[in-house]
Amino acid sequence: MAMKSLVVEDMKVTALKESAFVKPLSLEFRQNGKRRKWDMIKVHDSVTIIIFNITRQKLICVKQFRPAVYFSSIPEDDRKSGIIDTTKYPPSIGITLEFCAGIVDKNKSLAETAREEVLEECGYDVPVERFEKFKTARAGVSTEGTRSNFFYVEVTDDMKVNQGGGLVDEGEVIEVVELSISDAQQYVEAVDNISPAGFSFGLVWFLMKKGTKTP
């Protein structure tokens, strides 16, 4: 799952300082009379968008380098020093295949947030009323518990207004990839996916509900 050009180097592990994205905390409470403590992080809710291009009959997905996936793919013995050998572990082990997605951190509706992500990451300019929310699930039930909102949207070639790729200023390097219905079926059948379980859910949901639709 190579990306066109991706170089990752000089990686080290440091202590988390004040973060806009990851806020660790503990909850202390009494459950049925017993004291409990639960460690977690406060993060943002998210939107995930299944984009189906009905002109091309392709699912529009994204590949990107996910630092957390990269780190978690490295055996403990090779990361405990705090220095990661990026020549031993190529960045490809941290490249995921996902639906277009983003966090909900602006004062906008979920559908509007979804609309913006589709434009930024995939380059399609889609009217907000075309976004259909079909599932709200919970992400990281153990450590996060936030809402993960799944949308479905159909696009056409003439809505494509730019190349997508994410916000370069924010360090996003996103590659837009197209999956045929047969690609999607094969990906669901494969045992090992460098993708969230929500991606598999979305693919299976799409195949059941929409996969036979024609333009």
Mark the segment that binds a second copy (CB under 8 A) among 51-59, 108-116, 141-149, 157-165.
Answer: 141-149
Residues ≥6 apart with Cβ < 8 Å to 192: none
Distance between CA atoms of residues 144 and 139, nearest Å: 6
Q: Which of 56, 57, 86, 92 binds a second copy (CB under 8 A)?
A: 86
According to CB under 8 A, which residues from 23 to 42 bind a second copy? 24-34, 36, 38-42
Q: Which of 55, 81, 143, 180 binds a second copy (CB under 8 A)?
A: 143
> Sign of the C-alpha dihedral, residues 42, 92, 60, 159?
positive
Decide: is 75 part of the binding site for a second copy (CB under 8 A).
no
Q: Which of 47, 111, 126, 146 binds a second copy (CB under 8 A)?
A: 146
With beta carbons less than 8 A apart as the criterion, state whether 116 and 102 touch: yes
In whole angstroms, the minimum distance from the beta carbon of 5 to a second copy comes to: 7
Binding mask 181-210 for a second copy (x = CB under 8 A): -------x--xxxxxxxxxxx--xx--x--
> Sign of the C-alpha dihedral, residues 105, 117, 164, 151?
positive
With beta carbons less than 8 A apart as the criterion, state whether 175 and 3 touch: yes
Decide: is 167 part of the binding site for a second copy (CB under 8 A).
no
